[in-house]
Structure formats: C-alpha cells, structure tokens
Copies of this chain bind each other. A is one copy, B any other.
Amino acid sequence: MNSNELLTLLKAIEAGKRSPSLALEQLKQLPFEDMGFAKVDHHRALRQGFAEVILGKGKTPAQVAQIARSLLRRKGSKQNILITRADGKIFSAVKRIARSAKFHPLSGVIAIQRNAEITGKGTILVVSAGTSDIPVAEEALLTARIMGNRAEHLYDVGVAGIHRLLQHGEQLSKARVIICVAGMEGALPSVVGGLVAVPVIAVPTSVGYGASFGGVAALLGMLNSCASNVTVVNIDNGFGAARVASSINHL
C-alpha cells in the first residue's frame, strides 16, 4: 500500500467518486482473497510482475489445488503458475484443475505455463558443483524460465576440477546473472564471482555429510566469499535465487 496508490484513492474520494467507507472496504478487499487457511495475494503478481507461486510444502493437495484454481479463475490474467516443493499427490490434485500442468519430480516443481513470452533482458546461468546439487539447480532453472527468462545450466563443475569450469568461460561471460548452487564447502561462487562482473547469487545446498551440517558449511563459505559480487539465499532455496535473478534480469 504505497503512498501513490493511497493518494489516487484519496483524490477519488475528494472527487466524490468513492465514499470513504466504500474506499476502506475496497482497500481491505482488493489485495487478496481470503480462503480461511490462506490469503491469496492476487495483487502481488501485478505489483511485482512475475508468475504466481505456491509453496507446496506444508499444504495439503486439496489446499494447493484450491489456491491454484483461485489463481486460474482470475479474469484477464495470463500469468504462469509455479508450485514448488510438490510431490506426486499434489500433482494429481493440480492436474485435475489444470491439464497443462507439468511435474518435474527431481526438483518437486509443478509448472502451469500460460505464457511463453521471454521478458527478461539477458540470460540467467545456473551453475552447480556436483551431481547431487542438481535438484536445487533444477528448481532454480525452472523458476527462472517460468518467470520469463532465458536460462541455461552448467552442471558438475565443482572447484576440485577447476578446468571443467574454466572451459566454460564463454558461457559465464555471456550471462547477465549467475546462480551458483553448491553443497559441501560451497566454494564455487567465490571462483565464479572472481571470473565475472555480473551479480552472482549463491545457493548453498544440504548436500554433504558430517561437518557439512545440512548445508551450514556451504552457507558460511558463501557468506564469507572473498568475491564481492556474491549474495546468498537460504539453504536449498533454488526458487528464491531464481526469483531474485529474474527480478534483476527484468531491470
């Protein structure tokens, strides 16, 4: 509710086009639809210009499907819908509502694509360190694409075999934003960050064992990166990284 919008509404009241109590009602009801267990923010997609997103984890299949239906029902909207951290049961429920829904079991992503337009200006490159990091990398890749970005990937280029990474200099240098996904010591973003000038978004993964502490080692490594163009998101948060990358790529 920023001041511009408030000003417009206040002017409408002054001009007699809206009664105060009606305006208040409008303010209260406009931005979301209350389903009891969730308040669906139809306004957000408009306000922030990206696809609708539903976090599948912690919701029942029925709840996810109900939210998806609400999003699909909105007139005039042609935005893509992304469901993250979903499973087969959620997909079955969603499939009934949206035939075109596609499920990516490795990353647990469901995508309902209604709009294939590329709106991002450049390419988002998703780089990951090991085979086990691919699920998180894929979540990032699919998120970036459904938000209207060209997105490429470069898998299994961990720093212990630095030549594998160095031989992709061209791909690195062409990306507008880079997402670096790595578990264990999380050193990849530092090396990548030193090779490029664009922003690097680091995603620690929970891959590893023992003193990796479920991704904490990678997270700390990334927060302490000696490359200064690196920022970090939560452990395994491929979605968040792609959301920010898309936001940057649309600037």
CB neighbors of B among A12-61 (8 A):
13-14, 19-21, 23-24, 27-28, 31-32, 36-39, 41, 43-44, 47-50, 53, 57-59
Q: Which one of B131, B160, B230 contacts A190 once the chains associate, using CB atoms below 8 Å?
A: B160
Contacts A14-B20, A220-B221, A251-B248 given; does A195 touch B2 at CB 8 Å? yes
Q: How many residues of A contact B (CB 8 A)?
A: 118
Contact B169 A207 (CB under 8 A): no
- Among listed A72-80, A95-103, A107-115, A231-239, interface-contacting one: A231-239
CB neighbors of B among A191-247 (8 A):
191, 193-199, 201, 204, 206-237, 239-241, 243-244, 247
A-B pairs with the 8 shortest C-beta distances? A2-B169, A210-B235, A187-B187, A58-B132, A10-B20, A160-B194, A217-B220, A231-B231
User: Which residues of A line the B interface, CB within 8 A?
Assistant: 1-7, 10-11, 13-14, 19-21, 23-24, 27-28, 31-32, 36-39, 41, 43-44, 47-50, 53, 57-59, 63, 121-122, 129-132, 134, 155-164, 166-170, 172-173, 176-177, 183-187, 190-191, 193-199, 201, 204, 206-237, 239-241, 243-244, 247-248, 251
